[in-house]
């Protein structure tokens, strides 16, 4: 079985025939938006320009797609896999920004602090919908109280059981309910002051954005318009 069909588009990752068949062109196109080749999820080393291999694992409770060096893990589709061979840690990226928001009731514009988070550069959650397998980041984080998936992000919705904490070094950390991991981003004196004044921060989660890029504000707006962001208001603890 070959790694890529002769007539298959040139995706940024190496794909085997079975994965190409299962995901289809639309599913693979979806992954090109949501996967970021930072570090191999087998050995943990950077890709450094090496074209990553795509592995999909479909387990009893969750399906994932992640990236590896082709020499570490050949591209493949695994149904009901055994213990994962993944040794590396998925990298997240978070940054804070102040964005102008129009109040739903007042109609007035005001700056609101946001913690923009990509929770997994090299791995995403998949789900099988009517149209086929698709990235399901917003669906996954809905279980932690975030809302999204539409072309409008509800920032007035308080996320249940979520807390935000300001560090003495001008950082902000957000934790969601039972989610063991927390996300921390630098926020600087200006954003820190706004977070203190308002008593919280908007958390916005999407695997379609890379918060470290200079284009993050425009990319964030585009991701919202495509229903690729889940978020909500998180009060300070």
Residues 99 and 206 in one domain: yes
- Report helix, strand and coil shares of the chain as percent, to nearest 5: 20, 35, 45
What domain range includes position 17? 13-79
Helix (H, G, I), strand (E, B) or coil at 19: helix
Residues 60 and 104 in one domain: no
Say what percent of the chain tops pLDDT 70: 90
* 94-131 pLDDT per residue, tens: 999 999 887 666 667 789 999 999 999 999 999 999 99
CB-based contact 35:5 (threshold 8 Å)? no
Query: For residues 172 and 34, what is the distance between their CA atoms, to the nearest angstrom?
Result: 25
Q: Beta strands 13-14 and 52-58: pairing type? A: parallel
Indicate if the pLDDT at residue 8 is higher than 70. Answer: no
Residues 162 and 220 in one domain: yes
Residues 191 and 219 in one domain: yes
User: Pick from 227, 224, 164, 218: which is nearest to 192 by CA?
Assistant: 164
Residues 103 and 181 in one domain: yes
Residues 60 and 107 in one domain: no
With tokens 């970021």, the residue in question is 36
* 133-188 pLDDT per residue, tens: 999 999 999 999 999 877 778 788 899 999 999 999 999 999 998 877 789 999 99
User: Pick from 213, 200, 113: which is nearest to 159 by CA?
Assistant: 200
Both tokens of 47, joined, read: 């890709």
**Worst-scoring range by mean pLDDT, 9-18, 101-110, 217-226?**
101-110
Averaged confidence pLDDT in the chain: 89
Residues 193 and 97 in one domain: yes
Contacts of 189 (CB under 8 A, 6+ apart): 170
Residues 75 and 167 in one domain: no
Indicate if the pLDDT at residue 33 is higher than 70. Answer: yes
Residues 42 and 108 in one domain: no
pLDDT recorded at residue 139:
93
Contacts of 34 (CB under 8 A, 6+ apart): 124, 135, 137, 207, 208, 228
């Amino acid at each position: 079985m070959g790694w890529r069909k002769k007539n298959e588009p040139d995706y940024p990752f190496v794909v085997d025939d079975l994965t190409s068949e299962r995901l289809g062109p639309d599913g693979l196109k979806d992954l090109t938006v949501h996967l970021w080749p930072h570090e191999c999820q087998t050995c943990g080393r950077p890709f450094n320009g090496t074209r990553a291999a795509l592995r999909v694992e479909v387990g009893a409770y969750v399906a994932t797609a992640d990236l590896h060096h082709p020499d570490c893990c050949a591209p493949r589709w695994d149904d009901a896999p055994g213990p994962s061979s993944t040794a590396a840690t998925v990298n997240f990226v978070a940054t804070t920004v102040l964005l102008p928001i129009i109040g739903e009731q007042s109609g007035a514009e005001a700056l609101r602090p946001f913690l923009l988070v990509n929770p997994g550069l090299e791995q995403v959650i998949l789900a099988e919908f009517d149209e086929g397998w698709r990235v399901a980041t917003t669906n996954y984080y809905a279980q932690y109280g975030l809302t999204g998936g539409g072309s409008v992000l509800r920032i007035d919705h308080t996320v249940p059981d979520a807390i935000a904490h300001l560090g003495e070094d001008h950082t902000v950390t957000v934790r969601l309910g039972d989610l063991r991991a927390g996300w921390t981003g630098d926020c600087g004196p200006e954003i820190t002051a706004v977070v203190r004044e308002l008593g919280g921060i908007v958390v916005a989660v999407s695997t379609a954005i890379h918060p470290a890029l200079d284009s993050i504000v425009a990319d964030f707006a585009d991701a919202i318009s495509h229903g690729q962001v889940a978020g909500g208001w998180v009060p300070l603890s």
